Structures are given as C-alpha cells and as structure tokens.
Structure 1
Amino acid sequence: MAKRQLVPTVRLRRLALELRQLREQAGMSREQVADATGMNRATLYRIEVAQAKPQGRTFQALLEVYRVPEARRKELTAILKSAHQQGWLQNTDDLPSQYAALIGFEAEAMRMLNYESLFVPGLLQTENYARAAIAGSAPDMSAEDVESRVIARMERQARREPPQTLKVVLDEAVLRREVGGPTIMREQLRRLLDDSERPDMTVQVIPFSVGAHPGMTGSFVILQFADEDHEIVYLEASTTDLFLESKGDVYRYRRQFDRLCEQAATPEATRDLIASELSGLK
C-alpha cells in the first residue's frame, strides 16, 4: 500500500516557515546545516516545505545549531507537539508572532480570495489610508505601534508579485467610508482603480442595491497553495485570529465567496462605481 502523503496543517506550515527563517537568519545553507547535524539534506528540505514533521531529536538539533533562545524554543516545541491538529486559534497577546504567520502564508500562497466589508484590503491600501485605518480602529494603540503596523503592511505589499493572483470582493460601504478624510480617500480610490486594471488582480464591488448578502457576517481571506490541494481560511477579529483548514470549513467559505462574486458588479462595472465615487469626493 502506498504511503499516505502528509497534508500540512496550519501549524506544520508555520513550523516549516519558522525553521526556514531561523536557518536564513543564521546565515547557513541547507548543506551546512546537514553537515552540522548529520541530517540528510533531502530530509531538511522536506521539513522546510512542510512535507515532513521533524522528529524530536532532529528538531532539537536544529534549534541548537540555530542558537534559538530558551523562551523561543518552548514556543516552537509547543507548535511541534500539535503540528497535526486541524484549526488554529490565536490570541492577539502575541501579535508580532501571529502577524508573521499570516505574512508567511501570504508569501507562499499562489492565489488569495479576499472579501472585505469595512476596509480596503491591507494588500491594496495606500500608506496614508493604512495609517488612518489602523489608528482609527485601535484608538488606544501607541503612535509607535501604529507606524510599525503601517511599515509591515507596506512590506507585505512589496513581497506580493506575479504569478500570485488576488481576487477581491468589496461591499460598497468600503468605497463610501471616508477613512482619513476626503484627501486620503481620493488617493486610495485612485490606487484601487489602478489596481483593478492589473492582470494579476480582480476587484468587484457589491452595490448597496443588492441588499442583504452572505458577506454581511464578516470579512475573510482564502489562501490557496500550489504544492497541493490545500487551502486556509483566515478570519481576523478584535481579540482573536482564526485559521480554518478543515475541508468543510474551506468549502463553506469558497461557496460564500462564489456567491459574493455572483452578486457583485462585474470588474468593468466596478471600475465605473469606483470612478463615480472618486469624482463625487469633495
């Protein structure tokens, strides 16, 4: 009987990403790590692309070679122990870590399907809009933390490039809410209009005239990967971030996204809506 292929969970993907980044930060090639640990280079490659879960001794050897601090070792070991569990709920007490996880998954994804009901998606935001959106939605956040989030958002955009594609559906409220005021909103709508013309991007808007629609329950992102038939749904809230990966959950959100696309204006009509809103801003 053929060996069943490992399907990476969110935790295993996260662990693979972390180990790959630790090696790169240590300035070591796979060959150097293999020589230092006695590990087969092919095995190290499979671990770093989430095709294999590292064994305990191998894992500890890697952390030793990378000189990982004790506190960080405990965090990574906890991820290793639960690497095959489906679903991942994260509290925002550890925001840099969970935000890094999303950025890592975005970088690996070949296609992203994003529905937003309140804001322009982070990957399409101008710097000024991002600053106003972050500060406005988190009024107790320090100016330093706001700037840190803005920088991270701009870096996320810089990382994204073809062949990765992005399909976005927005509620019309996103166009009408003047985040940061008219000047910033005009800049943002012009950016959105330009992005909608890109070949690697599709933008559609659900007009108010549609009435109630499935997206009114909240925003979400579906990340699709090239290496296998595996998808992750990302949900963001004020107190928790949730990564869903069970086939049932992914199927429900894919169906929801398909319905939203059906109810939204065509990409051409969407450009007309954006242009109309832009011309109406005083």
Structure 2
Amino acid sequence: MTQRRQAPTARLRRLAMELRQLRERSGLSREQVAEATEINRATLYRIEMAQAKPQIRTLRALLDAYGVPEKHRNDLITVLKSAQEESWLQAASGDLPDQYATYIGFEQEATGIRNYESSFVPGLLQTEAYARAAIPGGAPELPAAEVESRVTARMARQAKRDSSPAIEAIIDEAVLRRHVGSPEIMREQLQRLLDESAQNHLTLQAIPFEAGVHPGMHGSFVILQFADDIRSVVYIEASTTDLFLDSENDVRRYNLMFEHLRGIALSPEKTRDLVARVLADVEVRGGAGDA
C-alpha cells in the first residue's frame, strides 16, 4: 500500500510563502537566484511551493541573496527548525486530503479569520450533529472514513480554539433558513450561534434576502491573517479542489469583497435578532411535527 504523503506543516507553508515574497521584493527571478546561489532552479521552486524543506545552509544562502537583516534571518531559521514538528492534526489526519489538512494548519497559526459562507454554518461554529449531517450532505461521494475524519478534525479545531484568533463571520440568510439534518439539529445549531455571537471573539453578521444580488453568491471563502507581517492567505474550498491564494492582488480583492459584504449585512445585534426569529420558527415547526 502506498504511504500517504504528509501534508506540509503550517510552519513550512509559512516559510515557503515568506521566501517567495522576499525574492519578489528583491526583484529577482528564480533563474537569477539559482545563478547567484548555485541552488537548482527546480529545488528553489519546490522550496517556494512548500514541497521541500530547505537545509539550513540553503536557507542561509537564500537569505544572503535577499539581503535579509539578522533578526529576521534568525526568526526564519527558527521557523525552519520547527517546520517538520508533528502537530495534533497530522497525528490524526490519515483520511484528510492534503489541502484540507494544510488549511487547518494555517488556521492554527492565524491571528485573525474572516469567513464568508453562503450555504453552511462556518466550520468553527458547527455543532457535531450539524457537521455530521452537513459534510456527507454536501459531498455524498466521500467515503465514511473521510467523513468521520473531517468531523473529528472539525471538533478538534474547536477544542483547540480559545479567544484567539478573532473571527469575523458573515453568512447568507440561506445558511440559517436551510435545514441541515433534523429540526432538533437545527435548534441546537441556531442556539449555538446565539451563544457564540455573544462572545467577544466572534463578530457574526447575516446578509438578508432583501439585500438582493451580492458578490458572495459566487461562493464562500476564508481570509486567514497572520502576525509578523506575513501576508494573509485566501482559502477557497471547491467541489473538485481547494485553492490557496496569497498574491497581494488576490488578498486585497477578497478583503475588499469582505468589506462590501459586511456593509450590506445586518449589524451583529440585528443578526442575533434574525437568528432568534429563525430559531423560534424552527421550534414551532418542530413542535408541530412532534405532535
């Protein structure tokens, strides 16, 4: 049986991202760096794509070529030394796709999360029962083992989370109205949103149907923000593949989109009122069905 390739750690992805940014800011092509450092161009590409962990001497040669100050050099060397440490995720992610595992690694290191969802409750706010209904419902082709791994990972992400990072979540009203699982599952999930939205770490806003057509209708996305001037990463989960966007233009574009969605969304207070109204409606319908 072929051994599953381990997903790169968040630290390795972070190091790769920063090395790529340093090269771009230096105005150097990969060919020029390869010529100056005698590092094979293919090797440099794999390092920048987080497909290979550079040796210390290789990293030092790159930092010399980019003229990186001493303190920054030491920080990046520390990141390299810890880049392959096994995390809680990698110990338990045997059935998770590499890109999803990589996303969770990024999420662990994020200092801020901006999440827009058009169809489902954001993963960090889902109850276990909702997750068990939502994951196979949205991807019926997933094998049972992967569904179980995703549910386990989702609950572990929540258990690891404290008041940091701060979460800004915007959801379409359809997320609240669409029944996922039984009425009891929806009652529990809506109550969870009310409880979580009362906490300081979460800002929850809903875009009402009355807002009409808006850019978020094209699909959900997450913007992961990091400390130490590391560029944000945009994560887009699609049915066939997941995308990570980290170019300055892409990050700016999605931040502008998020700001636009926030501008047309209900305030956090009015969003809580909407969630409460939907919850009351579910309770009435559920009660009638039980009778």
Same fold (TM over 0.5): yes
Question: Percent identity, aligned pairs only?
Answer: 55
Name the residue aligned to 2:76: 46
Where 1:168 maps in the other structure, the secondary structure is: strand
- SS of residue matched to 1:212: coil
How many angstroms apart in 1 are the aligned matches of 2:19 and 2:164? 22
- Give the Cα separation in 1 of the matches to 2:74 and 2:150: 33
Q: How does 1:41-120 map to 2 (within 5 A)?
A: 46-49=76-79, 95-120=96-121
Inter-CA distance 108–279: structure 2 relative to 1 (3 Å threshold): same
Displacement after TM superposition at 1:43 (Å): 7.2
Aligned-partner SS, 1:49 = helix
Partner of 1:214: 215
Please name the residue that 1:262 is paired with: 263
Matches within 5 A, 1:163-174: 163-174=164-175
1:130-279 mapped onto 2 (5 Å cutoff):
130-279=131-280
Q: For residues 114 and 273 of structure 2, what CA distance do their matches in structure 1 show?
A: 22
2:141 is aligned with what amino acid? D
Q: Deviations over 1:126-167 (max 9, x none)?
A: 000000001111223232321111001101111222231000
Partner of 2:289: none
Q: Deviations over 1:68-97 (max 9, x none)?
A: xxxxxxxxxxxxxxxxxxxxxxxxxx9432
RMSD value, Cα: 2.9
Structure 2 residue aligned with 1:73: none
- Measured in 2, the distance between the counterparts of 1:279 and 1:214 equals 29
Amino acid at match of 1:210: A
Q: Which runs of 5+ in 2 are unaligned?
A: 1-16, 22-45, 54-71, 86-94, 286-291
Give the drift of 1:12: 6.5
Does the C-alpha gap of structure 1 residues 48 and 173 become closer, same or farther in structure 2, counting only changes over 3 Å?
Answer: farther
Name the SS of the counterpart of 2:193 in structure 1. Answer: helix
267 and 114 in structure 1: CA distance in 2 versus 1, 3 angstrom threshold: same
User: Residue 48 of structure 1: CA displacement?
Assistant: 4.8
Q: CA deviation at 1:8?
A: 4.8
> Which amino acid in structure 2 is aligned with residue 49 of structure 1?
V
State the secondary structure of the residue aligned to 2:18: coil
Taking CA–CA contacts closer than 8 Å with sequence separation of 6 or more, which of the two structures ends up with the larger relative contact order? Answer: 1
SS at match of 1:163: coil
Write the distance in 1 (CA, Å) between the matches of 2:226 and 2:159.
19
TM-score, normalised with respect to structure 1: 0.70
| Contact 1:214/1:256 (8 A) holds in 2 | yes
- Whole-Å Cα distance in 1 between the matches of residues 219 and 234 of structure 2? 13
3-state SS in 2 of match to 1:115: strand
- How far apart, CA to CA, are the structure 2 residues paired with 1:151 and 1:172? 27
Aligned residue type for 1:237: A
Q: Evaluate the alpha carbon distance shift between residue 250 and residue 12 of structure 1 in structure 2; reply closer, same or farther with a 3 A threshold.
A: farther
For residues 217-244 of structure 1, give each alpha carbon's deviation from its aligned partner in whole angstroms, at most 9, with x where no partner exists: 1100000001115111000001111100
TM-score in terms of structure 2 length: 0.68
Do 1:186 and 1:278's aligned partners in 2 also have CA atoms closer than 8 Å?
Answer: yes
| Contact in 1 for aligned 2:96/2:146 (Cα 8 Å) | no
Distance change (3 Å), C-alpha of 1:152 and 1:12? farther
Aligned length, in residue pairs: 216
Q: Contact 1:13–1:49 (CA<8 Å) still a contact in 2?
A: no
1:7 corresponding residue in structure 2: 18
